[in-house]
Amino acid sequence: MAAERKTLEQVMEDYALQPVPREYANTLLAYLAMAGIPQSMYYLAVGSVPVAMAGLLGGVVAFVGAGAVMAIMALVFGMLSWRHGYSYDMLARLYGWGHKGSFVPSLVCAAGLIAFWVLEAYWMAKAMEALYPLPLWVYYIALTILFILVPLFGHKLMGWFGTVTFPLGILATVYGIVWFYTAGGFSLDRLLEMTSKPMMPGGFGGALDWSLLAIGLWGVTLGNLGRFCRTETSAKLAGPVMALLAHGLFPLMGILIVFPMIAKLIPIVGEQQAGLAAFDASVPFAIVLGMIGAVVVLTYQTSVQYINVYLPSINLSNVFGGLFGIVTKRMWWVLIVNLIGFVLVLLGTVDQMLAFSSYGALGIGMVVIISMADWVYSAARKMDRRYDPNTIRDWNPLSIVTFGVSGVVAVVLWKSGVVPSASIVGYPLCFLLYLVLAHVTKGAFQLQPQPAEK
């Protein structure tokens, strides 16, 4: 019994702050757990929104270009996660932030993902309400229970869940596409006509910003799940494979299915309101496609919602472990993250979370890019980076300064209308600024290769 209980505890803890034993790795389940992100309504919108903003050619260039950036970032963190065996939060201690300083990226990531939790739960509940008119709180309770049970038992259960939802979601989406272009009366000529010019403001800058919104999330995701791959090669390949899904397959399906849906909605709600379906098609899916639409919404949104719970549970474990030295169980953070999200959505904070999500996504991208810049600097200097608590500084002031300065500059330029988005400035600025500061200080705040103290 003791051995079984220990095994269950390990499964629930999922090596949040510990290195993963190689025998625990399972590439297929790790990939399926990651695939919950590209199979989401957002990545359908990575196709529809850029095209609606910049036309077909401009939109495709924007999301494919962003996909190249994402593939590189995901490849790097998948590799680092596998080599060191630790989660992104522990890697942040080693790369860029320091032992105590790693609470900054952990807290930024947790806050941003909880905001996404609120938005996903609301959109799922609204889609179900469109089919079965019940009070929203009924759906919130049912969904929250589901969001607790699966992430509670770690990435492997999320992967097993994906063995059902991933093919089911794709089949339902393909069915919807086929229906639109056959019985639905839509045509490729009509699609090309609708996408020949922008339908909404934003232009190429807005299209690129929307496409870049979640790239930081991929650094955290591969930084956590890359270590669960069987081999280093499969961990490295995970990034490009997910990029093909997130910035190839699902955006393409988004273009093919969302624009016919907009055309169906225009006579009902008008062109301006129908165009909003490009951003989130959860409710329109249920209205236009009925039960098939509900299947698409549920299979897509539940999988990404598990990520929105799983990653913050590790983030918050590190906040208390790194900053205060307090060991906490990941399972409790799964419960707390869901409770916070449930209270926020019940209080009707969706508009506030939507506004905050832009800042949250910017913050997640910047903290991950700073870690990547630190890795680039140390690799260029051929520094020996090993996870040894005796050689890791408590704080790295370069990362704090870089994050603060880059964030302020990016937001000020964005809000003043100089640039179309904060990420277009914030991401490259924090990468370059960190490298400049590391060069000026001659690597004084990077981990130095030295023997561990006994």
Angstrom distance (rounded) from CA 431 to CA 215: 14
Can you give the pLDDT at residue 35? 92
Q: Give CA separation, 354 vs 112, 239, 433, in Å.
A: 10, 27, 29
Can you give the pLDDT at residue 377? 94
| Averaged pLDDT, groups of 10, the chain, 454 residues long | 53 86 91 91 89 92 94 95 94 92 95 93 86 89 92 91 89 87 88 87 86 91 95 95 95 90 73 60 67 76 89 93 86 95 94 90 95 94 80 90 96 90 92 96 70 43
Angstrom distance (rounded) from CA 225 to CA 50: 29
Can you give the pLDDT at residue 206? 86
Helix (H, G, I), strand (E, B) or coil at 25: coil
Q: How many helices (H) and strands (E) does the chain have?
A: 20, 0
**Cβ neighbours of residue 385 under 8 Å, at least 6 residues apart?**
94, 95, 375, 378, 447
Angstrom distance (rounded) from CA 184 to CA 178: 9
Contact 86, 387 (CB under 8 A): yes
Angstrom distance (rounded) from CA 76 to CA 218: 10
For 203, the token pair is 């232009």
Question: 154 — phi, psi (to 5°)?
Answer: 85, -175
Angstrom distance (rounded) from CA 151 to CA 308: 9
Model pLDDT for residues 195-225, shown as the tens digit of each residue: 888 888 888 888 988 898 889 999 999 999 9
Can you give the pLDDT at residue 145? 93
Angstrom distance (rounded) from CA 23 to CA 242: 24
Query: Of 448, 363, 358, whose CA–CA distance to 399 is shortest?
Result: 363
For 175, the token pair is 């069915």
What is the CATH code of the structural domain delimited by 24-354?
1.10.4160.10
The CA-based angle 288-289-295, given to 5 degrees, is: 135
For 402, the token pair is 């870089």
Contact 254, 273 (CB under 8 A): no
Can you give the pLDDT at residue 368? 96
- Amino acid sitting at position 447: L
The tokens 């930084």 sit on which residue?
223
CA 29 to chain centre: 18
Angstrom distance (rounded) from CA 235 to CA 75: 8
Angstrom distance (rounded) from CA 42 to CA 116: 11
Query: Of 301, 225, 303, whose CA–CA distance to 28 is shortest?
Result: 225
What letter would DSSP give residue 227?
Answer: G
Strand ranges in 32-142 using DSSP code E only, listed in sequence order? none
For 125, the token pair is 């509940």
Angstrom distance (rounded) from CA 132 to CA 23: 46
- pTM of the predicted protein model: 0.90
Angstrom distance (rounded) from CA 402 to CA 421: 19
Handedness of CA 417, 414, 51, 260 (dihedral sign): negative
